[in-house]
Amino acid sequence: MRAVPLCALAALALGFPWFAARAGGAAGPIDPGVDGIVALTGGASRIEDAVELLASGRGQRLLITGVGAFTNATELIRLVPPAQERWFACCIDLGYAAANTAGNAVETGRWARERGFRSLVVVTSAYHMPRAMLEIGHRLPGVTLIPFPVNRSGPWWRDPHEAKVLMFEYLKYLVAIARITIEPVIDVTEVASRVRTGRDRPDSGETPL
């Protein structure tokens, strides 16, 4: 019986370097023909980089998902250069229903389906990208997702804090895989209901703006 937990620990350990490599990947070229952009709140420069992509002609619209209940467009506008403020008036949607990564995916799924989008750029921190891609891909099968990681750091094995962050995120990634395997697709209104009743708390380290 000891072999079972030992095998599980070995699989966990072997999977971490693979996950860390994915979480440390650089952003590739973005096709100007991509339909939309989604930025997940919770980390510095995510919104600024997403608006810059929109301003450069990548995507028709941008969704900022996971916006705090008391945060308005004026506060978000302060995060971008003055030359890019005008995009908030025409082409940026704010999503208030999501309180964690699973909620971000539900909100993104509804937004993309309503607009008939078939390709999305996903903007979030590098360490968070694998789980964001997993969750959004689950909600939008058949839609092409292009990762645009921000806040990339140096080699994790040289920084104990970075290693700790990645390990914690890796465990949440594994939990997300297990949950997606058994969880039926739920509507965004159910996610909002969970948040209001306290049954679905935000992820630690990903506090919405």
Calculate the average pLDDT of the chain: 82
pLDDT of 153: 65
pLDDT of 2: 52
pLDDT of 163: 83
Res 183 pLDDT > 90: no
pLDDT of 207: 38
| Span 112-121, average pLDDT | 96
pLDDT of 96: 95
**Between residues 51 and 152, the one the model is more confident about:** 51
29, two tokens:
């070229």
Residue 182 banded pLDDT, cuts 50, 70, 90: confident
Q: In the CATH hierarchy, which top-level class contains the domain 30-151+159-197?
A: alpha beta
pLDDT of 49: 93
Res 169 pLDDT > 60: yes
What is the C-alpha separation between 139 and 162, in angstroms, rounded?
29
Domain boundaries, the chain: 30-151+159-197
What is the C-alpha separation between 153 and 134, in angstroms, rounded?
21
| Least confident stretch, 77-81, 90-94, 197-201 | 197-201
pLDDT of 87: 95
| Span 146-153, average pLDDT | 84
pLDDT of 198: 44
Where are the extended beta strands (E) located within the chain?
36-40, 61-65, 92-95, 119-125, 144-150
3-class SS at 24? Answer: coil
Res 141 pLDDT > 60: yes
What is the C-alpha separation between 199 and 90, in angstroms, rounded?
35
What pTM does this model have? 0.80
Q: What secondary structure, in 3-state letters, does 126-139 show?
A: HHHHHHHHHHHHHH
Which tens digit of pLDDT belongs to each residue from 71-82?
989 999 988 999
| Least confident stretch, 20-34, 52-66, 83-97, 133-147 | 20-34
